Amino acid sequence: MRELRNTLELARNAGVAVGHFNVSDLVVLKAVFCSAQELQVPVLVGASEGEREFMGVRQIAALVKSLREEFDFPVFLNADHTHNMESAIVAAKAGFDSVVFDASALPFEQNARQTREAVEALKAINPAILVEGEIGNIGTGSEIHELSPDLSKYLTTPAEAKQFVNFTGVDVLAPAVGNMHGMSRKMVEGEKRKRLDIERVSQIKAAALVPLTLHGGSGTDDEDLRQAIAAGISIIHINTELRVAWRNGLEAGLTAQPGQVVPYNILPFAVESVGQVVRARLRLFNHLEDVPAEASNRAASRVREQQAVS
Ligand code: G3H
Ligand code: ZN
């Protein structure tokens, strides 16, 4: 089975990005895994500290491992937004493929020092683990925000990116390039989209020379996402869009079957609702948008073949 590092290299060579989807339960995990399997593209499952606390660190690790092994499929697990060393170590010991060590709320120097310590500690546990660091401010909370903060003065500069990567030794960098966690009400209603600073992405990529992650992907303009991938983004995180779809699907399942109490008759509505979002995002990230659903497997195989020979 390919490792995550190798998967990111192949994606970069093929001009695509790996989709990263946060999960809080088996419904969303099922939707993410089945969608990736249907499209035959690699996928990253993310679990933040809160999501891990709810599901259990070792339990989500065991679930993803079982999917990877049973289906021989490139599904990877990321410990998303990990704010302290203890929980990063617990995730590494549980077998996570990567850790986002997020000290971005601290001043730059402190963030860099703590991230460097995390890289050393986590690689000592598992030399193959990928560690991602984060600089700039993209807000917090994969939820619906009544007000969108103006984060334009906290965008990452190419010089900071280079200095941070060289000092910390991170494998992956998460910059602030116009992205933001969560969605405003207008974004949920489709009236507004997040816009990205594509030129900044290119400059950061050229300076940092490591794979870049775009956090806060929900509600981002589709064309900006395509251009951001071309400019150097290798991983795109989506969470709030899935949470909105999860709630809508659950409500639909309950409304369609008044009096129903059997979970496996209600929850498939949520799986399908989340799955629609995941498939749309994976198609965009993997250049499979023009391919009719039934032909997507063949197209995805072609992308994978290209990746394999490059
Ligand atoms: O780490 C998770 C994400 O960056 C997701 O952000 O909720 O805006 O999609 P989002
Ligand atoms: Zn994030």
- Predicted pLDDT of residue 309: 40
Q: Answer yes or no: are the C-beta atoms of 175 and 135 closer than 8 Å.
A: yes
How far is it, in rounded angstroms, from Cα 173 to Cα 165?
Answer: 7
Tokens of 46: 């993310």
- Predicted pLDDT of residue 39: 98
Q: Answer yes or no: are the C-beta atoms of 138 and 182 closer than 8 Å.
A: no
Tokens of 15: 């001009």
Is the CB of residue 142 below 6 angstroms from any atom belonging to ligand 1? yes
Is the CB of residue 104 below 6 angstroms from any atom belonging to ligand 1? no
Active site residues: 80
pTM for the full predicted model: 0.94
How far is it, in rounded angstroms, from Cα 49 to Cα 45?
Answer: 13
How far is it, in rounded angstroms, from Cα 148 to Cα 145?
Answer: 6
Tens-place pLDDT, residues 249-276:
999 999 999 999 999 999 999 999 999 9
Q: Which atom of ligand 1 is the closest one to the Cα of 80?
A: 1
Q: Answer yes or no: are the C-beta atoms of 278 and 242 closer than 8 Å.
A: yes
Q: How far is the centre of ligand 1, averaged over its atoms, from the C-alpha of 281 (Å)?
A: 13
**Of the ligands numbered here, which is closest to the C-alpha atom of 46?**
1
Q: How far is the centre of ligand 1, averaged over its atoms, from the C-alpha of 181 (Å)?
A: 5
Tens-place pLDDT, residues 13-29:
999 999 999 999 999 99
Q: Which atom of ligand 1 is the closest one to the Cα of 22?
A: 2
Tens digit of pLDDT per residue, the chain (310 long)?
679 999 999 999 999 999 999 999 999 999 999 999 999 999 999 999 999 999 999 999 999 999 999 999 999 999 999 999 999 999 999 999 999 999 999 999 999 999 999 999 999 999 999 999 999 989 889 999 998 777 777 899 999 999 999 999 999 999 999 999 999 999 999 999 999 999 999 999 999 999 999 999 999 999 999 999 999 999 999 999 999 999 999 999 999 999 999 999 999 999 999 999 999 999 999 999 886 666 555 555 554 454 444 3
Residue-by-residue DSSP string for 214-264? E---TTB-HHHHHHHHHHTEEEEEE-HHHHHHHHHHHHHHHHHSTT---HH
**Of the ligands numbered here, which is closest to the C-alpha atom of 141?**
1
Q: Which atom of ligand 1 is the closest one to the Cα of 181?
A: 8
- Predicted pLDDT of residue 310: 38
Residues measured by CB to lie within 5 Å of ligand 2, the ion: 215, 237
Which residue's CA lies nearest to atom 6 of ligand 1? 216
Which residue's CA lies nearest to atom 8 of ligand 1? 216
- Predicted pLDDT of residue 147: 81
Is the CB of residue 24 below 6 angstroms from any atom belonging to ligand 1? no
2: nearest Cα among 11, 254, 255, 224: 11
Q: How far is the centre of ligand 2, averaged over its atoms, from the C-alpha of 290 (Å)?
A: 28
Is the CB of residue 30 below 6 angstroms from any atom belonging to ligand 1? no
- Predicted pLDDT of residue 303: 46
